[in-house]
Amino acid sequence: MKRLSITLALFFILFGLKAQQEVIQKIESAKDFYADIALQIWSNPELGYLETESSALLQKTLSDAGFAVKAGVAAIPTAFVAEFGSGKPVIGIMAEFDALPGVSQDAVPFRQPVTEGGAGHACGHHLFGTASVAAGIAVKQWMEANGVKGTIRVFGTPAEEGGGGKVYMARAGLVSDVDAMLHWHPSSRNNAGANSSLANISTKFRFYGVASHAAAAPERGKSALDGVEAMNFMVNLMREHVPQETRMHYVITRGGEAPNVVPAFAESYHYVRHPDANVVKDIFQKMVAAAEGAAKGTQTTMEYEIINGVYNLMPNETLARVMHKNLETVGGVNYDAEELKFAQEMIEGFEGIEVSPADAEKIDPFLVQEKGTGGSTDVGDISWLVPTAGLGTATWVPGTSAHTWQAVAAGGTSIGIKGMMVAAKTLALTAMDLLKNPEIASKAKAELKNRQGEGFVYEALVGDRKAPLDYRK
């Protein structure tokens, strides 16, 4: 009997490995198809909430593959949900596709904008969205071929870059029945740890004064720019009196039209970040107080608009370990001779960074990071509601920072495509594990509930405002 049990166990292990390899091979065989989709989006970079063509292309790809697609969800024209199957478990995969302003770049290892001042995929979301779609389609085909029950959903999530699309989708209840959520992000490394991020509130502060001739009748004017500068001075003084993990940064988006006219309107755009969303809310209120004081002191009036607000990522070790195991199965990115030359030329331009093209082949050790550092993401809100796991893959040359021309350049080459395929395969294998073993999601839910703490109630940091569909216009 014992020998029979061992034999059955080995059979199921080998059967599972065979299924994994078949899915990996199926995704790889469609590499050119998905590369074409990703590069179409890369060649037509669209900013947040304006991703009409990018969203439509991904929707069509899913619809053609047999998914039921619902567009315009959460009152966002470019957001969508694509679904296949029925019943539990419900496994979600998120797909992003927005670009960034001002980082246009050709697919070459030196600075060469395609359009001076134009947009570019400096965070690799053209790869992000395409890999997630590829994974969803591969899982759907595997479910059909093997009679697997459950539901696979691909969530098209616009405007991650400062627009917070996922926040409004979460607030609309679109993830309320999801058992586990998967995502990934382009990177210069391959990793799948249980990581956190920084919570963030971003706000535009608008000051209104009275215009006047700055030389002939300055006493009749009230400078809105004075209000902005007074606020920014006080906010900078705050830096000494906030927790050390805090990050505050701003730009003046409007400062007046001409030096000889007292500005009647001025605006500054502020971010405040911290690993804890509650700390962010507290510092934000102090920032508002500084703006109110600045308006009073300069005899101007002030109003503010919260543009975006996101929670810190909630790590989920249960799901992350499954993701990491599958990333190790898939492996990293191997360069051919042409890609190696591209990478070496780019790395020569990185000052003070010791990296090698061979680093793209490596898989980072598994890591649990409870406290966030670096950037912010609207995935954070989803992760407080649904057990969530993600990974990064080497779509960029090792040593590359996000939001740079170097990231845009590599993302338009076979280097980016290879990293994208690693992500698609890893996401697909992880979704398969969750569909075959619903107990993994149950364990992940228990971990999430424990991390949330007693009495947790989700409240979006953006309040009840509608999605800022014009924030990039």
Query: DSSP for 31-91?
Result: HHHHHHHHHHHHHS---TT--HHHHHHHHHHHHHTT-EEEESGGG-TT-EEEEEEESS-EE
Cα end-to-end distance, the chain, whole Å: 70
In this prediction, residues 260-288 reach a mean pLDDT of 97
- State percent of the chain over pLDDT 70: 97
Helix %, strand %, coil % of the chain (to 5): 45, 20, 40
Segment 52-82, tens digit of pLDDT: 999 999 999 999 999 999 999 999 999 999 9
The band of 351, judged by pLDDT with boundaries at 50, 70 and 90, is confident
pLDDT digits (tens, 9 = 90+) for 159-211: 999 899 999 999 999 999 999 999 999 999 999 999 999 999 999 999 999 99
Distance, in Å, from the CA atom of 372 to the CA atom of 364, rounded to the nearest integer, reads 18
Quick check: bond before 275 cis, omega within 30?
no
Reported as a pLDDT band with limits 50, 70 and 90, residue 8 is very low
Are 121 and 182 contacting, i.e. CB atoms less than 8 angstroms apart? no
Q: Where does the pLDDT of residue 10 fall: very low under 50, low under 70, confident under 90, or very high at 90 and above?
A: very low
d(CA 255, CA 265): 7
Residues 61, 64, 65: CA angle, nearest 5 degrees: 85
CA–CA distance, 397 with 355 (Å, rounded to integer): 9
Range of lowest pLDDT (105-114, 147-156, 229-238, 454-463): 454-463
Confidence (pLDDT) at 18:
85
Is residue 252 scored above 90 in pLDDT?
A: yes
pLDDT tens-digit readout, 422-446: 999 999 999 999 999 999 999 999 9
Rounded Cα distance, 339 and 354, in Å: 19
Strand order in the sheet with 199-208: 247-254, 265-274, 199-208, 301-310
* pTM strictly above 0.85: yes
Residue % of the chain over a pLDDT of 90: 93
**Average pLDDT of the residues of the chain:** 95
313 pLDDT exceeds 60?
Answer: yes
Does 12 have pLDDT greater than 80?
no
Residue type, 230: A
For the purposes of burial, counting CB atoms within 10 Å of the CB of 451, is it exposed (0-12), middle (13-18) or buried (19 or more)? middle
Structural contact between residues 454 and 52, judged by C-beta atoms closer than 8 angstroms: no
The band of 4, judged by pLDDT with boundaries at 50, 70 and 90, is: low
Estimate the crossing angle of helix 414-436 against helix 337-347, to 10 degrees: 110
- CA-CA distance, 382 to 401, in Å (whole number)? 25
Each residue's pLDDT tens digit, 317-342 = 999 999 999 999 999 999 999 999 99
CB 50 within 8 A of CB 472: yes
At 275, the amino acid letter reads P
Give the helix ranges, DSSP H, for 385-437.
Answer: 405-411, 414-436
Helices vs strands, H then E, count in the chain? 13, 10
Residues shown for the chain: 473
Q: What is the pLDDT of residue 131?
A: 98
